Amino acid sequence: MAMTRIRVGLLDSTNFMVGSLPVPKWADQENGVRATDRETGVPLLTVTLFLMEDERAEAMKITVPANGLPNGLHPGRFVRPVELFATPWARIFNGNLSDGVAYRCASLELVETPTVPETPAEVAA
């Protein structure tokens, strides 16, 4: 069964700030098996980013291949996900349904200056 992948469209005013350093993604943590990209074999990592858009912010965990992480990545740094996709998922474990959305991008680009949206005072002037 094919998984549905949905390309995530971002507004020009959307900003992403790194919340945590990348951590390994595990296929089987108990046995020490790291998750890798199925096509390239590159190890996968998870990065927590803060998405800021239209006066709201939320934390997102995004999977990124190891070769898609730029030098200079650290908490508080602004980035832009390249080729961001969302994959809805659901599973039944011990009779309980769990569901959510997994996010993955091809790489992260460093952004020197975040986009600053216009304030209501600037729009009225």
What pLDDT, on the 0 to 100 scale, is given for residue 70? 96
Count of alpha carbons within 13 Å of 4, Cβ hemisphere only? 7
Residue-wise pLDDT tens digits, 103-124 = 999 999 999 877 776 665 555 5
CA dihedral angle for residue 66, residue 72, residue 74, residue 80, rounded to 10 degrees:
-70
Q: How far apart are CA 119 and CA 3, in angstroms?
A: 40
Strand (E) or helix (H) holding 81: strand 78-82
pTM: 0.82
Look up residue 70 and give its DSSP letter: P
Q: What residues contact residue 57 under an 8 Å CB cut-off, 6+ apart? A: 50, 51
Residue-wise pLDDT tens digits, 45-86 = 999 999 998 888 999 999 999 999 999 999 999 999 999 999
Which residue shows structure tokens 């700030």? Answer: 17
16: tokens are 């992403």
